[in-house]
Amino acid sequence: MTSRIPRDSRLRLVRPRPLAAAPRAMNQQRSRRPAPRPPEGTPAPAELARMARSGLAGAARVARWADAALGPGRGSATAAGRAILSDTTVGWAADDLGLTPAQVRADWDTARLAGLIEVHGDTARPGWRLRAWDRDDSAVLRGWVALFDAWSLAHPEPEDHGPAAVGEVVSAMPQVLSFLQLSAGPVPVPQLLDLLQQRVTELRTERYEVDYGPRSSGTAHPERSPEPEFGPAVPALALAGPGADDVPLAPLLDWALCALAAVGALTYGEGQATLTPLGSWAVWVKLEQICVAAQSPAGNIEQGAEDMLRGCAQLRPNAARAEYRAWLAARPVGSAVTELLDAARGEDALLRGLAFEALRVVGAPAEPEVRAVHDEPTLRPYALLWLAEHEGADPEDAHEVLTRAEATWLWVDTAAAVADHGEAPLLVRHLESAVQPTVPALLNEVCAVGHPRTVQVLVALAAAHPDPALAKAVRRAAFQVHTGG
């Protein structure tokens, strides 16, 4: 009696194909919801892009100078050992552009926040938006929205206030911005302060904090559903702490309004604030994304990262990415990235892979956090692939950044996800994605890599494989790992 698969276990295995290279689903249903129209009076996209170009003209000028002066092969790029603006480079840029050193540094920071310049470790390079700056209005608007999302980084925060109080204001400002957008005109600062105090109180109530300090002037509304948050790339902090209610919010509101004015989202003066056309459009876009997410079939906007990823596990790639975008739109970028990485650290390998797919949707704002975890053994292969693709590597070739041991660890982790959530034939086909040329070589390296799920993966593979000889070899390898042999 012969097997359907040759018994020669030295069957060669093909090169792995990353998840990003999976074929697109052609029969994915399109949403029938008509494209939303911005509020009446909103300028046309071309006019909004003109405003954004005008506001970011200085940043674009510095970015173009850096592209020409700090490119590969130029001695100035490594004048300070790093391709960033050292004091020497700042002086050089100031002389070339006719600016002060402070203006150069400010425009450089703005260019980084808007994605006109990307810094990777010790190298800097122009972002893709700079290449499309003069011809692509959507790229310009995306760059301005990236700056708007990072408003809390664009203006120094008050030094005499702790991070807890600053984090409260950052988390509460989306509701303040929504109120400004709905008001469609100037709003007195005292009214914004009252709204800010109410929202901060609600945030503390939602965290079930026991407040032993004096009450603030705002009143909580626990019966109201929490507003989805969007905007600044600042992580949500653990804000409980002694005396948190004693911190005056007026100076922090002044800081937030000044920071938003610095990025061009509003005008602030004479005791009132008004959204600019760009700011009003950006807030409307964020609110519309949240409304679309709330009406989506999957409806994962209110879930935590782990539950959201589980809900997306059965979706096609395009539908899953749409859910990721909606979920991210309702949260500060920093806290969303932290939550995704926490989900990736769990025991479920499927969630680990999905978390990094969601981080691919986040893009550049997630780079510092991903780079910070690339030394964690559980996350390292995923983080290295993410960073390679982010830095321009072809998804088909990104796996080349992994060592043999890292690639083997990733193979076992992916096999664990298949064993837990997939079908037996899929686990058998997973053999083809191994980097080892033969099954015996794969088994030897799998046994040596030290993945905690090695035994379970090998047992599941032996049970699923139709070749008795190969299944016996896999069971033997599982027994050796189990007994420490």
Please list the pLDDT of the chain residue by residue as tens digits (485 residues): 444 443 333 333 333 444 333 333 333 333 444 556 777 778 898 999 999 999 999 999 998 988 887 765 554 443 444 556 778 888 888 988 888 998 888 898 888 888 888 776 667 777 778 888 888 888 899 889 888 888 888 777 777 777 778 888 888 888 889 888 888 888 898 999 999 888 888 887 776 544 444 444 443 343 333 444 554 433 333 333 434 455 688 888 988 999 999 889 899 988 889 999 998 998 888 887 767 655 555 567 778 899 899 888 888 888 888 888 888 877 888 889 999 999 999 888 899 999 999 999 888 888 889 998 888 888 999 999 999 888 877 777 778 888 888 888 888 888 888 888 877 778 778 777 777 777 788 888 788 878 888 888 888 888 877 778 777 887 887 777 766 65
C-alpha closest to that of 458 among 422, 421, 427, 425: 427
CA distance 255 to 170: 10
> pTM higher than 0.85, yes or no?
no
CA distance 272 to 266: 10
Q: CB-based contacts of 412: which residues, under 8 Å, 6+ apart?
A: 446, 449, 451, 453, 454, 457
DSSP bridge pairs for 266: 275
| DSSP for 180-234, written as a single string | HHHHTS-EEHHHHHHHHHHHHHHHHHHTT----SPPPSS---TTSPPPP--B---
- Other C-beta atoms closer than 10 Å to the C-beta of 242 total 8
Contact by Cβ (8 Å): 461, 428: yes
Contact by Cβ (8 Å): 232, 337: no
